[in-house]
Every structure is written in C-alpha cells, then in structure tokens.
C-alpha cells in the first residue's frame, strides 16, 4: 500500500466514525419521550450539522539489510560479518476540515406534516373534538389520504399509574380511520368513560403513511 493510500484510508475511517457518532447522538435525542409524566409535550432536539477538524501525522521507518561479505585469506581465519542495517524515515502529515450536514427526511423533497389539537370551543366533560391537519413542508394541503388515530394504551397507562386505568372503559374514539377533506383536515370525537377521574391523560398516536405525531388529551 502506498503512503497516500494509507493516509486516505485513515481519514476516511475517521470521518466515518464521526458520522456514526453524530447519528448515534441524534438517535439518543430522538428517544426522549414526547410527553412528560403529566402529559405535557417535551422539547425535541435536532443536530443540523457538525464541524470537524482533523490533523493526521504519520511517521514511517523502512529498514533494509545489506549482506556482509567474507574474505578468504591464506593465513588468517575467515571472518564472518553480520548484515549491515540501513533505515529510512519519512514523516507525512495531512490536515482536513469540513462539515457533516444532516440530510432532511425525504432527501430534500416535501414531507408530510401532521398538526393535531383539540377544539377548545367544543370541549365538554365527556367529549373532546380532535382535529388533525395534514400538509407538506411547502404548505400544500394533503387531501384524499387516510389518517389513522389510535389510543396508545401502553403509554397512557404509564401516565396514569397513580389512578385506576381500565382500557375497556376509560376512553374510546368515535372513528380511528379517516380520509382528509379538501382543507386537509379530519375530525373525530374522543369519548371518556362515566367514572374517569379528572386529570386522566389519554395519549393518541396519529399517522398518515410514515408521518407520525402524538397528542395528549387530559380529562
């Protein structure tokens, strides 16, 4: 392997390791729960880019042996010489700086965004009107697409660990699968059970294809 090939391989490995570290860090940030123990949304974090500066210094030494020779003399005994060693030393340095930029989902194409909330004007003790707007990142409304809304029973139960929680009676959705209208919206009702305590939290998972969002509803 030539010296420059070794240097190129070393830098390539270092940059790859940095990129892997950035990805693992973002994965850890993505694991932060969407809501806290009280059902309130928590902040989300994104690493847009990472600047790097790499300096590589390489010192190489090459050693070769030169065979000695013996001389036959009529009187003196033959002398045996050890091989002579010759060495060459080379120092190589390389300096690279750059930026690793995260690629947005969809490889730069418009992606679907879901915005969900409850209508405060139609809020009652037993019902909540859930409204979802579907659009892409360029602001265009998404119509004629199927939106699924489901209660996340596992997370909802963990958010209500201090009170009785029976998934068969605590809450239900009027409709779970809906088609977006021309305004890009869908609506459904969340019904609470008769004996549900005030402060009970229901967490909804909402998705349209690969686009996913969550909404927490508090009784």
Structure tokens at 198: 């005030």
- Residue 5, pLDDT above cutoff 60: no
Q: Torsion over CA of 157, 160, 163 and 165, rounded to 10 degrees?
A: -30
Residue 171: CB partners within 8 Å, gap ≥ 6?
Answer: 151, 190, 191, 192, 193, 196, 200, 202
- What pLDDT shows up at residue 111? 82
Q: Whole-angstrom Cα distance, residue 188 to residue 172?
A: 11
Of the candidates 200, 214, 131, which has an alpha carbon nearest to the alpha carbon of residue 171? Answer: 200
Which pTM was predicted? 0.53
Q: What is the pLDDT of residue 188?
A: 93
pLDDT tens-digit readout, 138-157: 888 999 999 999 999 889 98
Rounded to an integer, what distance in angstroms lies between the CA atom of residue 55 and that of residue 96? 6
Is the pLDDT at 88 greater than 80? The verdict is: no
Q: Cβ contacts of residue 192 below 8 Å, gap of 6+?
A: 125, 126, 127, 128, 170, 171, 200, 202, 219
Hey, which of 35-39, 89-93, 204-208 has the most confident mean pLDDT?
204-208
What Å distances lie between residue 186 and 105, 123, 181, CA to CA? 24, 17, 7
pLDDT at position 62 is 66
Assess whether pLDDT exceeds 70 at residue 131: yes
């Amino acid at each position: 392997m030539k010296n420059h090939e070794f240097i190129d391989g070393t830098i390539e490995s270092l940059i790859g390791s940095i990129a892997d570290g950035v990805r693992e860090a973002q994965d850890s940030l993505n694991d932060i729960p969407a809501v806290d123990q009280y059902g309130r949304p928590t902040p989300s974090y994104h690493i847009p880019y990472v600047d790097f500066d790499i300096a590589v210094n390489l010192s190489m030494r090459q050693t070769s042996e030169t065979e000695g020779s013996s001389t036959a003399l009529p009187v003196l005994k033959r002398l045996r010489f050890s091989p002579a060693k010759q060495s060459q030393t080379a120092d190589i340095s390389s300096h690279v700086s750059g930026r690793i930029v995260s690629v947005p989902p969809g490889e730069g194409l418009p992606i679907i965004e879901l915005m969900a909330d409850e209508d405060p004007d139609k809020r009652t003790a037993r019902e909540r009107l859930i409204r979802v707007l579907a659009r892409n990142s360029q602001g265009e409304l998404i119509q004629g697409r199927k939106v699924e809304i489901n209660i996340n029973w596992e997370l909802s139960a963990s958010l209500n660990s201090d009170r009785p929680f029976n998934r068969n009676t605590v809450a239900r959705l009027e409709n779970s699968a809906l088609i977006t209208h021309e305004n890009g919206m869908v609506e459904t009702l969340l019904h609470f059970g008769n004996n549900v305590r005030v402060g009970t939290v229901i967490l909804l998972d909402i998705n349209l294809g690969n686009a996913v969002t969550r909404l927490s509803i508090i009784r």
